[in-house]
Structure 1
Amino acid sequence: MSNKFALSSFNMNKPLAILILLAFLVLMLAGCSVSKFIPEGSYLLDNVKIESDNKEIKPSQMNLYVRQKSNAKWFSLVKLPMYIYGASGLDSTKWINRFWRKIGEAPVIYDPVLAEETRSEMEKAVQNMGYMGASVGLQEVSDGNRMKVYYTVRSGEPYVVERLAYDISDAKIADYLAKDPVRAGLYEGMRFDVNVLDAERQRITQYLQNQGYYRFNKDFITYQADTMLNTHKVDLTLKLLPYRRTKEDLPQPHRQYTLRNVNYVLDADFSELSEDALRGLDSISSGGTGVFYKGKPFLRPKVLTDCNYLIPGNLYRNRNVQNTYSALGRLSILKYSNIRFNEVALPGDSTRLDAYIFLSKNKNKALSFEIEGTNSAGDLGAAASVSFTHRNLFKGSEAFTLELRGAYEAVSGLEGYANSHYMEYGIESSLNFPEFMFPFLSSDFKRRIRATSEVSVKYNWQIRPEFERTLAAAAWSYRWTRRGKATHRFDLLDINYIYMPYTSEAFNAYLDRMDQINPLLRHSYEDLFIIRLGYTYTYNSVGGNAINAAKHNSYSIRFNIEESGNLLYGLSKLVHKKPRYGDAYQLANIDFAQYVKMDIDFAKNFVIDERNSLVFHAGLGIACPYGNSKSLPFEKLYFSGGANSVRGWRVRSLGPGSYRGDGNTIDYVNHTGDIKLDLNVEYRTYLFWKLNGAVFIDAGNVWNIRSQGTQTEGVFKFNRFYKQLAVSYGLGIRFDLDFLILRFDGGMKAINPMYTGRDRYPIVSPDFGRDFAFHFAVGYPF
């Protein structure tokens, strides 16, 4: 059964009339005049173009400084939002006019003042890049009541740093900078780029703040630049100013600060930081750290000290402040945390800091209820779940979750069944620890790993017309994140027991027929143990927020590898050279799976402008059963088609290879494989309001590693796999609700490897009833 994140597809009977109607609507709106909204003597800003005579200065960089841009184009082709607005009349009291204006975009009236500001800002930006003699020209070309604006960048010769010197009178800081391992931001021969100079100021500031210089900021770093007469050479000096708290103070060396006391303050806050302010609170000491609270502390003191990187007696380091914030962020019982410092005035010593870490408590318990609609292969249904969460089970921010789930779906069109239905019942429980839980590990090692641990158990019961299936599982896993962009997950142990209490006569008859075509299929519907371990690595260049990643130039990589049964198989081999019963070794009289599986996904997002982007995706998966298994468990088989794959096919209706199937609706179980390849390209554009559009091309398929009965057309072979790639194209609509994306995609088959001759190329002779598939899903496909 599909879940709410990727609901399957159904065929459309007569979408041609809808497409013709939409095309007619577009043409009609394009004919709507916007002249009535252009004041007399003004111009519609038709286009803005930037040209540069220097390859180092790209027009896309200068787009940031454009103060006024022309109306948006759908797919960079048609200004349809403006024409939609033009369909409204001048009477704003009529609801239909207000509607057109709300979903459209008002014509952009050219403003020469903003154009001049743009030219000036561009010129300053180019000069800051080291082209001190650069100029930017502005040209206005009118055509009737429309205006095209051209900005021309003439960079000239860049200024280059001829000599580089450092004027640092503070001997201690000079020594630190001499030992700086990445002191390569500035060098002789570099272009005199103000942006690079400022970045170096920021880098030095961060470096010194990690060496105890609590009061240091980048304003203490200045540059002196002298140009040689009639040349483009610069003598550059980086100068360090002495410390002054106010302009009236005498200059003095910069001071290094040491931490004196570190105090946690639970569920209390005060504006003035002092020891006197803490006297009204209860306190305990743990690991050299004070814990202040009212009543009873809601966290064990050791949990707090394990999250603390601010050690009394050590130098102040901003890096340790951020590490403490990161560690506290893993505690789900906390609503927020705030770290503040107080300079301590001691006789003859003013370089001490007291740290106060304020923690605000979140709600202990939460109960949530969720209802969702489902749509699997055109069969409608509903699901409901209730979830209970306790965020602080043992006063260590251990998060306990218990979820109950039920689902119902009407099943239609299944051969041999009438008025049947699908039901699913499930219960799942998990306990998450905010640390790396493993015996014999030191606290220092756990702090370096910064991982969370989770133990979970679940039970799932599926009742289909063809069969009943139950799954009991228990797992222990770890998860940790590096720099907010890379996520690691290690499944130390994941035990699954699959039990098939019932299969219908019609399904058994189908498996009997498949014994000649795919004799290994039957093994995917037998009782089975899966005892696996695995590792998953995920990286996103702009962080983990998928919606945020879609708005920036970014790329993501996901790699997964898992294995099952190798240890059990080795132990079984030591005890018995051959299986005692049948062809496979058993655990508790039940076969166990043995396989290795690997997946890799790559996606690249190119932002054309703030309204248009182009996304490429490639995914490859390979799984190999061996030893104790003749075929993969059904849950581990690959399938193609559906909302996140080749969208011209319904889910589980494509492949393997050029296998066509027997037309039986139960045959979806046979459209699986051991190898999967997906290739996708998608052009995304902003339409209006919360709507976005997409045009896409998909290619891919699944294959088997070895021949299975008479189904030889599904076996992967290097000399023919590229000929078996299925290709589709289509359009999509996305509702961007900020917190989630609702996606509707319609795909058409372009190349169908399951057929030969004319039917192999439906792009030439399309049949909408045969070749069209509609998909609804939540989130982007990649």
Structure 2
Amino acid sequence: MGNRLVSLCCITAALFCLASCSSTKYLPENEHLYVKGEVEIDSDTIPEQYIDPLSESLEELLRPKPNTTILGMRPQLYLYNIAGEPKSDRGFRNWLKNKVGQPPVLLSDVNREYNENLLRNRLENLGFFQAQVVSDTTINNRKATVTYTATPNIIYRINSVTFDVDSSDLGKAIKSTESASLLQAGRPYNLDNIIAERERIDNDLKNKGYYYFSPDHLVIEVDSVSDGHQVDLYVMIKDETPARAKRPYYINNIYIYPNYTLTQGGYRRADPDEADFYRGFYFIDPDHTFRRFALANAMIFREGELYTRGNHNRTIRQLVGMGSFRFVRNEFVDVDSAGKATNKLDAYYYLTPMPRKGLRIELLGKTAAVYNGSEINVNWQHRNAFRSAELLTFTVYGGFETQTGGNVNLNSSFYRYGVEASLSFPRMIAPFEWKPTKRFVPRTVFTAGYEFLNRRTAYSLNSMRFSFGYMWRENTEKEHDLKVLEVAYVQPWNITDAYQALMDTVPPLRHAIEPQFTFGPIYNYTRTNTARTDLKHTYYFKGGLDLSANLYGIIRRANVSEGRQYQIFNANFSQYVKVEADFRHYMRVGLHATVASRAMAGFGYSYGNSRQLPYVKQFFSGGPNGIRAFRARTLGPGSYTPEFYGEDNFFADQTGDIKIELNTEYRARLASIVHWAAFIDAGNVWLQHADSEKPGAAFSSNFVNEMAVGAGMGLRFDLSFLILRGDFAMPLRIPYRPRGERWVFDEINFRSPDWRRNNLVFNLAIGYPF
């Protein structure tokens, strides 16, 4: 292991040197490689905390961009150079040079005067009307850096804002938006805010029926004030604004083409006489591919209503959200009366369906340490099962995992297979009227499945599940998932003598294969604003409530402590209340840096017919998405010391009824697609009740002293379609050590092979941990 690491480091260092030397070796004579453009801010009037963000934002404007770098190397330039001159426009060498490689960006490609004007213009748009920019070039070993020094001077601020409009209906509509203006006296002048103000007014007018109005019909004049660095702003309607942009419009007829294809030769407008009229809508669907009521329910507009952008977007969102259409296009057409234009619009909706049936096959390979395996998933879908945009899905899957090295143990190899059927309706199906929102498509979902798991040398499990519930979005930030009923049934089968003997020695192992029967509602609520790119602080919250057999257990007066424990289908039914909360906060600290933090907690309270949560509902800790200094399912519960059992070093998963976890990490970009992170994690799991077989595992008021702590660093490769993550972590606090010896700072020794082998944990995963 140590020799391999040394060899890898040597190879990496050699590549660094090779790539570094070759970056300038092939440059034309008297040319220099342009490696960096930087902006320095020379100002006594800008607060210190704004200097770096302003400098970084200005550097993003500089053109051209230097060659792409990864950890200081320029691999694309290197490949361009070693490809040489291709003999033709085909072949490997041409592909390597022109498709993969990147030609050198030369200093002669840099137009300093253009960049100076670009930076000066941007500063003026930010309110620095008398900004100055100069530049200088530094050359070292044929590598050139251009430094731009910007002197912003004093920023101009808004003195007053006047909505200079007439008393027409349009003028009154614009005047009514004044109180919500983005332009306020005392704030710095900013061209971006002026553009956003025009768009804000236009959006407000669109929601008042002014379909043909646009931001270009507004002008905001700027007049500097003579007695200071201030400006007066005047919001006005342009004189050349057309008449139709000055009046609100109403919806006339609504035409729907549910089975429109692009091969029909363009969008055609129907006559009411050739369409089927249903609930105020005209349908052009001779083959009756969709039921009328499903599409009518998705329409927000009604004949005679005022046009609004909100209803326009909500209708499109409803149709797209049904999940059955590849393309959704709409068109609004002026209605003429006696040859004269009116203030009415005919609405046309052209809907191009997706293929009704589809088959997808996925073959996956996976490897972790000495474990290797594969999995196949076959998924068949029908996107219009009952002609109302229902999604019917059948999935068949199977996979295996086997141990190819190390000491083979009872938990090392398994195979599994299963089938799942799901039926999703794009509406609420309930015995009463329930429409939680019309902004998004709600869904009613039925799911049923079966799985067989065979750990060949230990045991087998048969699992069956069924659920029925609803999913809906309240708005862009709030989402609800309510399973009115979820039933899960697990039965063990074919327990081997070896595993039976191990259970006799280690009774807690029995919990993993106990017959399980859970039934009850599950509710999850999610709220997040992480899609907002304009905020410095964003968050994500998910809370869940899981109930099983609460009312039934009370009716039966179940009490396991008193010997009253009941079964359903030869399994003790689980009676519990489980609550979970996961809160994440993200703070941008630069253009390419973020501090991400997470606090999560889970609590399971079992009573009546149960003493602890069923195995599949319990919490675990450790692993690539948890406390990364400990491997998955190896931490806890509490201060219990994990043990290896038997000659084959069998290690049992550690689970608990209660979980607390805290994480924070600093993420930043190194270069191009390469990012890095430094992190610290803390947490543990505990049992609800004391267990004589697991001393120290029960939750108590002393839980803080049983928290594990780990820290580490890692690299992330952002390939746009996925993020590949590799983290190295080490424990800082080990909860199962004796009191007073749990912090292990004094034992850290990176030079020791034994310490590295026993303490450094490498986690390879896809995506961020949170």
Task: State the TM bucket, normalised to the shorter chain.
Answer: 0.7 to 0.9
**Residue number in structure 2 paired with 1:255:** 247
**Residue number in structure 2 paired with 1:576:** 557
Bigger CA drift: 386-395 or 528-537?
Answer: 528-537
Q: Could you tell me which of 727, 747, 751 is aligned with 1:761? A: 747
SS in 2 for 1:507: helix
Assess if the C-alpha contact under 8 Å between 1:46 and 1:147 holds in 2: yes
**1:437 Cα deviation (Å)?**
2.0
CA distance in 2, matches of 1:674, 1:13: 39
Alignment of 1:342-491 (within 5 A): 342-347=333-338, 350-375=342-367, 378-411=370-403, 421-441=413-433, 447=438, 450-464=441-455, 465-481=457-473, 484=476, 486-491=478-483
CA distance in 1, matches of 2:369, 2:691: 27
SS in 2 for 1:223: strand
Residue identity matched to 2:355:
K
Assess if the C-alpha contact under 8 Å between 1:652 and 1:672 holds in 2: no
Assess if the C-alpha contact under 8 Å between 2:79 and 2:96 holds in 1: no
SS in 2 for 1:256: coil
CA distance in 2, matches of 1:252, 1:501: 75
CA offsets, 1:43-99, max 9 Å, x none? Answer: 33343322222235621222331113444554xxx4222697299558445989996
Matched, 1:747 2:744: no
Assess if the C-alpha contact under 8 Å between 1:412 and 1:419 holds in 2: no
CA distance in 2, matches of 1:50, 1:509: 71
Unaligned runs of at least 5 residues, structure 1 = 1-11, 246-250
**1:15 Cα deviation (Å)?**
4.4
Residue identity matched to 2:574:
F
**1:418 Cα deviation (Å)?**
7.6
Assess if the C-alpha contact under 8 Å between 2:163 and 2:178 holds in 1: no
Q: TM-score by structure 2 length?
A: 0.86
CA offsets, 1:208-253, max 9 Å, x none? Answer: 01111111001111122322335323232111235644xxxxx688
SS in 2 for 1:670: coil
CA distance in 1, matches of 2:436, 2:611: 42
SS in 2 for 1:397: coil
Assess if the C-alpha contact under 8 Å between 2:440 and 2:475 holds in 1: no
Alignment of 1:514-553 (within 5 A): 514-515=506-507, 522-539=510-527, 541=529, 543=531
Q: Could you tell me which of 269, 280, 283 is aligned with 1:288? A: 280
**Residue number in structure 2 paired with 1:195:** 192
CA offsets, 1:296-333, max 9 Å, x none? Answer: 12111111111111211011111111101100012222
CA distance in 2, matches of 1:659, 1:466: 24
Alignment of 1:128-139 (within 5 A): 128-139=125-136
Q: Could you tell me which of 572, 577, 580 is aligned with 1:595? A: 577
Residue identity matched to 2:576:
Q
Assess if the C-alpha contact under 8 Å between 1:657 and 1:721 holds in 2: no
Q: Could you tell me which of 10, 13, 23 is aligned with 1:34? A: 23
Matched, 1:85 2:78: yes
**1:576 Cα deviation (Å)?**
3.4
Q: Could you tell me which of 612, 630, 644 is aligned with 2:625? A: 644
Inter-CA distance 726–225: structure 2 relative to 1 (3 Å threshold): closer
Inter-CA distance 486–41: structure 2 relative to 1 (3 Å threshold): farther
Inter-CA distance 560–471: structure 2 relative to 1 (3 Å threshold): farther
Residue identity matched to 1:655:
G
Assess if the C-alpha contact under 8 Å between 2:638 and 2:706 holds in 1: no
Assess if the C-alpha contact under 8 Å between 1:134 and 1:154 holds in 2: yes
Bigger CA drift: 140-149 or 202-211?
Answer: 140-149
**Residue number in structure 2 paired with 1:307:** 298
Bigger CA drift: 155-164 or 29-38?
Answer: 29-38
Q: Could you tell me which of 107, 110, 120 is aligned with 2:107? A: 110
Assess if the C-alpha contact under 8 Å between 1:749 and 1:763 holds in 2: no
Assess if the C-alpha contact under 8 Å between 1:341 and 1:354 holds in 2: yes
Assess if the C-alpha contact under 8 Å between 1:523 and 1:631 holds in 2: no
Assess if the C-alpha contact under 8 Å between 2:541 and 2:584 holds in 1: yes
**1:291 Cα deviation (Å)?**
0.4
CA offsets, 1:261-313, max 9 Å, x none? Answer: 0110233456465445x76xx531111111012x3121111111111112110
Assess if the C-alpha contact under 8 Å between 1:538 and 1:556 holds in 2: no
**1:524 Cα deviation (Å)?**
4.6
CA distance in 2, matches of 1:381, 1:604: 36
CA distance in 2, matches of 1:346, 1:705: 77
**1:780 Cα deviation (Å)?**
3.6
CA distance in 2, matches of 1:285, 1:85: 67
**1:344 Cα deviation (Å)?**
1.0
Matched, 1:241 2:224: no
**1:732 Cα deviation (Å)?**
4.4
**1:632 Cα deviation (Å)?**
1.8
Inter-CA distance 418–672: structure 2 relative to 1 (3 Å threshold): closer
**Residue number in structure 2 paired with 1:679:** 663
**Residue number in structure 1 paired with 2:603:** 623
**Residue number in structure 2 paired with 1:68:** 64
Q: Could you tell me which of 732, 756, 770 is aligned with 2:758? A: 770
Inter-CA distance 151–362: structure 2 relative to 1 (3 Å threshold): same
CA offsets, 1:731-779, max 9 Å, x none? Answer: 446483x5444x3636353536155587983444453443454544444
CA distance in 2, matches of 1:360, 1:134: 53
Matched, 1:20 2:9: yes
**1:474 Cα deviation (Å)?**
0.7
**Residue number in structure 2 paired with 1:141:** 138
CA distance in 1, matches of 2:358, 2:378: 11
Assess if the C-alpha contact under 8 Å between 2:299 and 2:315 holds in 1: yes
Assess if the C-alpha contact under 8 Å between 1:622 and 1:675 holds in 2: yes
**Residue number in structure 2 paired with 1:3:** none
Assess if the C-alpha contact under 8 Å between 1:82 and 1:107 holds in 2: no
CA distance in 2, matches of 1:96, 1:270: 44
Inter-CA distance 134–371: structure 2 relative to 1 (3 Å threshold): same
Inter-CA distance 562–18: structure 2 relative to 1 (3 Å threshold): farther
CA distance in 2, matches of 1:596, 1:539: 20
**1:662 Cα deviation (Å)?**
1.8
**Residue number in structure 2 paired with 1:338:** 329
CA distance in 2, matches of 1:446, 1:733: 39
**1:594 Cα deviation (Å)?**
0.8
Assess if the C-alpha contact under 8 Å between 2:684 and 2:707 holds in 1: no
Assess if the C-alpha contact under 8 Å between 2:20 and 2:74 holds in 1: no
Q: Could you tell me which of 643, 650, 658 is aligned with 1:666? A: 650
**Residue number in structure 2 paired with 1:44:** 33
CA distance in 1, matches of 2:270, 2:575: 63
**1:27 Cα deviation (Å)?**
5.0
Inter-CA distance 704–413: structure 2 relative to 1 (3 Å threshold): farther
Inter-CA distance 588–167: structure 2 relative to 1 (3 Å threshold): same
CA offsets, 1:342-377, max 9 Å, x none? Answer: 101114652111000001121111122222223366
SS in 1 for 2:296: helix
CA distance in 2, matches of 1:580, 1:663: 31
Assess if the C-alpha contact under 8 Å between 1:471 and 1:497 holds in 2: yes
Assess if the C-alpha contact under 8 Å between 2:683 and 2:709 holds in 1: yes
**Residue number in structure 1 paired with 2:496:** 504
Assess if the C-alpha contact under 8 Å between 2:317 and 2:439 holds in 1: no
Alignment of 1:701-740 (within 5 A): 701-706=683-688, 707-709=690-692, 711-715=694-698, 721=704, 724-732=707-715, 734=717, 736=719, 738-740=720-722
**Aligned Cα root-mean-square deviation (Å):** 3.7
Inter-CA distance 679–26: structure 2 relative to 1 (3 Å threshold): farther
**1:684 Cα deviation (Å)?**
5.8
Residue identity matched to 1:174:
G
Tell me: higher relative CO, structure 1 or 2? Use CA pairs within 8 A at least 6 residues apart. 1
Bigger CA drift: 752-761 or 418-427?
Answer: 752-761
**1:117 Cα deviation (Å)?**
1.7
Assess if the C-alpha contact under 8 Å between 1:750 and 1:762 holds in 2: no
Bigger CA drift: 600-609 or 399-408?
Answer: 600-609
- Equivalenced residue count is 741
CA offsets, 1:164-211, max 9 Å, x none? Answer: 222212521233344448523223333232221111110000110111
**Residue number in structure 2 paired with 1:564:** 547
**1:676 Cα deviation (Å)?**
3.9
